[in-house]
Structure 1
């Protein structure tokens, strides 16, 4: 490991020694048993041992190695087995299943840690001159198979970890812009900005283990995007190292300079070059920040309320509503209640029963507010009236505060579930408001039908996570009880049916996770064959030798099976 550069554990999410626990959540085990029939309290095998892996040797040649050491120094040219395995995968469920099983695929031959713009420029030219493959690496949190070399790649594969490029370089206070290096992790960036009274306001679920460059490369979105915008709105300019040249886009508020090159870079997943820094919108820290919690009789009522909130004068930083099953999941993850909390819950339950609500169908919502005290009071009043008009009730700040404190811990639950034979994953999409209810209803129904047909217990649930003038993102989570030798095939069935439902119900392949290899088989349905043609021409034109993360976004796959799948 390189001092000052964080690294996740090789077999799962986050840092060693930190994991999900159900022991202080008495309702969680019964919830899982009810939904998928698995007893999570049973004994599980110990964590995998790295020493049990058979790691293929590095294929880095002495010639290229010598050049890279001359550019970076010996310390920042790493070829040890664990570093190479960590950088070979993202943290998608398919990645985790394969690495745990020792199916390592084509590992990088070397991991580089450049410390300056000039070093990135030199190493890019050196690798391409040696006919190597370059894969940019941020925090390793990617879940769409965007970090692994293609199977059978015979050229030298180089992973470029940008973790040493982690500084806020400049803040233009007059313009509300900051120039920030691409390798900075979310918390480190916010600490630097907050110290000077500023915030980016971008908080994806992966915030702790993802970087500014990774957000840009995948068109990321954060929990507070309703106020601050997606990363595509936040990034105003950037620098990207390309073969033999450097792209520099100045931080302009808008321009009419032909087809937007900035937009071409956003979401390009390393296919066009290595992003080294960006100019981004920043905002003064708000005086007040509040998350209010609400309940609705049904998810459909919550969807209508969110649509009306977006059409109103209210502009909350976040408007989120969970469907019935996800609401049960959230409540099952609550810790053992205090006497006061228990009495409060019983009082709310009585109110719901008095209103004639079916407690199996209720939907929980969180709405976030930021700004001056006067502004927050005004927005809360507007939202309160909309909630009441849709039959909802307010339950105050308590649940929202707990959610805010634990929001970055959720990814750890996937490792916990895999240990117990449960495959858990997520897929997200956007639709116009007119189809928001339809895509939810049909996706849930198709998933359950598919699981019934193959005889596997599974559950899917959803929340609306990001809202816009014309529509919203809905974020689906699914869990499948299958610890058999066929679990990869079972996973493919589930992933395929969900993604195809998105296509058939006016959705997109992804709202903010990106394309990688996992979602590329649906691209011709999403952007039309002509759109795929344009993207292919762009990538081939910039990188005719296919040195820059080849096989991502555009590749020849079939729905539900990436080119790196076990049976591909």
Structure 2
């Protein structure tokens, strides 16, 4: 099937996104955790975990000394907003060009941030220091060109935004007070421009969200296969800007493997290859300058991507191992033999228990079966329930290939003493990813701070890294007098040479929430130093943003910083893309508040 004319897609993002999505946290307004009669439930029918969590209250009380009955969300939608820094000539230019824009306070606020705890707390407490002065909605590439020309002519800062799902402060409005800041909301640029079934390629405008891509391609029998944790709300442009990775990268690749060609509007013109081909040798690939540039070089408008036929079979499974180290060894051997399932993720003991507790209340029969499973694990297999871990698996392909693939993976699992945990647990583990941010926001309202950070590491250092970083975090928590906290890790992506490791820190608020935030930032910074000392990277797929920019120079070398600045000067000589991400210097914004 071929498509030669642009097709408009119904976007998950209305222009007034605050009508559908939460302004004070993550996700849809009609999906959330609630407390009723000392029980926790998840309401809304968009996710498979809807229902009452029978054991969640006991877990929160035991681990964090928190009574869920005291849950009391306090967020109140603001009515006053930071004053607009005006630029009449710029707005007149937008109007004359027929480009839609808004200076409504809530429109500005919901595009001023990402999804770090700092972002969420600033919105709930109304402590944001700077938000955009205007929100712009371009509807095509040519309008983006006009916007950039107007910004160059009027000294306006442009911050391209999509789903605002960043967890690195990359989309958080920079502290620039002497220039107008415009948030360029790309989400209405979401057309499927063309599709070639013969070449298995398609071109999209990059404001399209992940779930919209899959829905539209699915109607035509295709899939992109890129599913990051933020898949519902993050956009193709955001994936390119951060060098994103998806849960099924073993089959479909990371975003740099999926994208064939990129079109970007810079301060010095349009950067784009004049061809679409599988590979060329004509000097450096300038598309790879765009990947990971985090909005500092220009605005990506369109991208040609690889697509695949929808797989005939999609099967989930889970495997239970005796401990984390054994799980890592299993992943390493599967990878060494080039047998990775499309998604293959190891969760440690704390996350294993949490996944069980986040199951809606079961029938008496299911509860009875679960008791038998516990007996089998501890008595027959000799597993320690305080150490067991799980690997969740997703297989895709034609029926024959998937069956063969499963047999080979399960044969390796048997060598490491694993037992199957069942398809239900595998699918639940995969889908639970999409509600983690809901859990984090709910926990915050129960006086529990919770956040994650990630890295990539060579295989021979993975186990040591996990142990050292966890020990470092525990030590710092104890040194600060914290009595109720939990530290957890998981391996989410596997490569020939190493893997991606996530860390999670949860602790009970101290008496002053602002102080708790300060403590978290201090501990995360020390943990990041430990990660780097153990040989881990600054980020695997979250990016650098403003949050980790202090470490960027030591990670890429002074020469690397100089190269970044040279490219910045060439593509954006007037510094209109002054997001303040990656590197600070002569071409980055000043943060002197008047």
**TM-score above 0.5:** yes
Q: Displacement, 1:240?
A: 0.6
User: CA separation of 1:11/1:200 partners in 2, compared to 1, >3 Å: closer, same or farther?
Assistant: same
Among candidates 481, 486, 494, match of residue 459 of structure 1: 486
Corresponding position of 1:512? 541
CA distance, structure 1, for counterparts of residue 363 and residue 410 of structure 2 = 28
Compute the TM-score of the two structures, normalised by the length of structure 1: 0.94
Summarize deviations over 1:143-169 as a string: whole Å, max 9, x none.
Answer: 111113322431110100011111221
8 A contact 2:296–2:568 mirrored in 1: yes
Query: Does 1:11 find its partner at 2:24?
Result: yes
Summarize deviations over 1:91-146 as a string: whole Å, max 9, x none.
Answer: 11111112212111221110000001110100111012101101000011111111
Corresponding position of 1:181? 205
SS state at 1:304 partner: helix
CA distance, structure 1, for counterparts of residue 277 and residue 22 of structure 2 = 39
Gaps of 5+ in 1: 557-561
CA distance, structure 2, for counterparts of residue 38 and residue 541 of structure 1 = 54
CA distance, structure 2, for counterparts of residue 31 and residue 257 of structure 1 = 58
Structural mapping, 1:118-157, within 5 Å:
118-157=142-181
Query: Does 1:535 find its partner at 2:564?
Result: yes
Structural mapping, 1:145-544, within 5 Å:
145-249=169-273, 250-353=275-378, 354-456=380-482, 457-483=484-510, 484=512, 485-544=514-573
Query: Does 1:32 find its partner at 2:74?
Result: no
8 A contact 1:503–1:525 mirrored in 2: no
CA distance, structure 2, for counterparts of residue 15 and residue 105 of structure 1 = 26
Corresponding position of 1:559? none
8 A contact 2:268–2:573 mirrored in 1: no
8 A contact 1:149–1:549 mirrored in 2: no
RMSD, aligned α-carbons: 2.1
8 A contact 1:5–1:163 mirrored in 2: no
8 A contact 1:517–1:563 mirrored in 2: no
User: CA separation of 1:506/1:299 partners in 2, compared to 1, >3 Å: closer, same or farther?
Assistant: same
Greater shift in the superposed pair: 402-411 or 198-207: 402-411
User: CA separation of 1:322/1:423 partners in 2, compared to 1, >3 Å: closer, same or farther?
Assistant: same
Greater shift in the superposed pair: 285-294 or 92-101: 92-101
SS state at 1:171 partner: strand
Gaps of 5+ in 2: 1-11, 35-39, 42-51
CA distance, structure 2, for counterparts of residue 334 and residue 202 of structure 1 = 26
Summarize deviations over 1:343-394 as a string: whole Å, max 9, x none.
Answer: 3322322221122211010001111110111101111101111111111111
CA distance, structure 1, for counterparts of residue 118 and residue 276 of structure 2 = 38
User: CA separation of 1:565/1:286 partners in 2, compared to 1, >3 Å: closer, same or farther?
Assistant: farther
CA distance, structure 2, for counterparts of residue 550 and residue 201 of structure 1 = 30
Compute the TM-score of the two structures, normalised by the length of structure 2: 0.90
Moved >4 Å (runs of 4+): 1-7, 562-566
8 A contact 1:168–1:193 mirrored in 2: no
8 A contact 2:114–2:170 mirrored in 1: yes
SS state at 1:449 partner: helix
Q: Displacement, 1:426?
A: 1.0
The count of residues paired between Structure 1 and Structure 2 equals 557
Summarize deviations over 1:303-361 as a string: whole Å, max 9, x none.
Answer: 11111111124241011110111111111211222233223322322221122211010
CA distance, structure 2, for counterparts of residue 491 and residue 316 of structure 1 = 35
